[in-house]
Amino acid sequence: MNAQHKGMRPPKKHQPRGLPILYEDKDLLIVDKPPGLLTVGTDRDKTRTAHYLLNDYVRRGNPKSRNRVYVVHRLDRDTSCLLVFAKSEAAKTFLQ
Active site residue 76: yes
Q: What values do phi and psi take at 85, rounded to 5? A: -125, 135
List 25, 32, 76, 78, catalytic entry? 76
Per the DSSP assignment, residues forming a β-bridge with 38 are 49
Catalytically active residues, by annotation: 76
